[in-house]
Amino acid sequence: MLDKITVAGVSVDTRHWIGGERVASSDTFTDVSPIDGSVLGEISRGTPAEVAAAVSAAKAAFPAWAATPRAERARILHAVADGVEKRLEELAVVETTDNGALLRSHRRGVMPRVAHNFRFFADWLLRLDHEDFATRGHTNHVSWDPAGPCVLITPWNAPLMLATWKVAPALAAGNTVVLKPAEWSPLTASLLADIAAAAGLPAGVLNVVQGYGSEIGDALTSHPGVRRISFTGSVPTARRIAASAAANLTPLSLELGGKSPLLVFADADLDLAVDLAVEQYDNAGQVCLAATRLLVEETVAEEFTRRFVEKAARLTQGDPRDEATDIGPTIHPRQLEKIDGFVRRATAAGARAVIGGHPRDGRYYAPTLLTDVAQDSEIVQEEVFGPVLTLQTFATEEEAVRLANDTRFGLAATVATGDRDRADRVTARLVAGTVWVNCFFVRDLQAPFGGSRLSGVGREGGTWSFDFYCDLKNTVTAPKGWQDHG
């Protein structure tokens, strides 16, 4: 096994990062690029032994990091952000090669957001405060105490951005971290370890363990030394994590799947609504927040569909490294097979593919729009996680809301309407953690983020992140009983 590989001209260490050192495993797993199926390298395949070592390192580093003054923690996190910005191009090309998302998106949006994640939570830490308040003359003081080692398990669709969405607040809060990246896209987590070390983050504060969740997941989530677990991924995996964490009552933050609706009312700007709908193909549909269920008022459905098909036809699907590409490959052949299975079962049950409905070149799935779908059908109820949208119509506002809420999920929703009063009425009734009106994917780190129902447990962002990653303490002080030492 090579300790380092070269990916898109960038040297990447294939070993774990534990206690400030590179640690190799006796076995490896193969990392393959979704762009062309080429082997990128053999990656250290973690075992419970590496997990135990990482948690031990995190525990050992915790007291000193927790005691580090806020201003110094913030300074180091800003230094990490500086390191990300210096290596932004390297991070972008490696992640595109590793997970197939658009290089232009990584350069212009995703990697800058990685740096922003560290800067935002560093700055928020310095303003984190709750005004003291009085109770019958006694003073109440609220404080956020670091909780301890945190296990962070992250997905493959936006590997580094979603990892640092968790890592940054956990570190800012004074915790130490064991990060487990997805096995389909592990490379930028390794680069992050290098960047953090160069920025002066003490040894053991950030640890990275690579491998398969089926082999090391339980060791991570059942460890009695772990005080917080944050996971982004599927509902079945979340259930296993919750069961594993239950023995130690380890607090969980779970950001899970979605089956989000886009409600298009007849009074909406139809061109805007079409733009929003076609935008759901972003990242080859591999976005948990994607509004994959188009719900269109029946009086404009025909015209909406015509404009949608026309605009979708202009999308370019191909190599994500090409600036002209709009849609890249599916992350893995297994995921492509899963997507195609959903579509084949839907069409066999009577759905009609207005566009797409098939793979392309073995690694790409054609942008697909299915109509004639029943509300209780699998394709409407279950998350596909690919470039597959369904279109249903409604006659009334009441029906639109009913259809929108009629799944097990509640991650997000999007509403297109020209009527402010309608927007207020509808958004108030939608079951979702985030609702966008006449826009999509506008995100601010100070806003609460998470899902309802099976879309997740808890909220992160701004103070909500610190509420999760800390033990909140209220200290009540009496006005009397002080001795005069003067």
Got the DSSP string for 172-214? Answer: HTT--EEEE--TTS-HHHHHHHHHHHHTTPPTTSEEE--S-HH
* Catalytic entry in 95, 255, 297, 383: 255
**255 among known catalytic residues:** yes
Beta bridge partners of 327: 317
* Separation of alpha carbons 292 and 262, rounded Å: 7
Q: Determine the 3-state secondary structure of 99 from DSSP.
A: helix
Residue 101: CB partners within 8 Å, gap ≥ 6? Answer: 95, 110, 157, 158, 283, 284, 286, 320, 328
User: 108: how many CB neighbours lie within 10 A of its CB?
Assistant: 12
Beta bridge partners of 23: 16
Q: What are phi and psi of 434, to 5 degrees?
A: -135, 135
467, exposed or middle or buried, with CB in 10 Å at 0-12, 13-18, 19+? middle
At 267, list the tokens: 């009074």
User: 410: how many CB neighbours lie within 10 A of its CB?
Assistant: 23
Got the DSSP string for 299-349? Answer: TTHHHHHHHHHHHHTT--BS-TTSTT-SB---S-HHHHHHHHHHHHHHHHT
Report the catalytic residues: 255
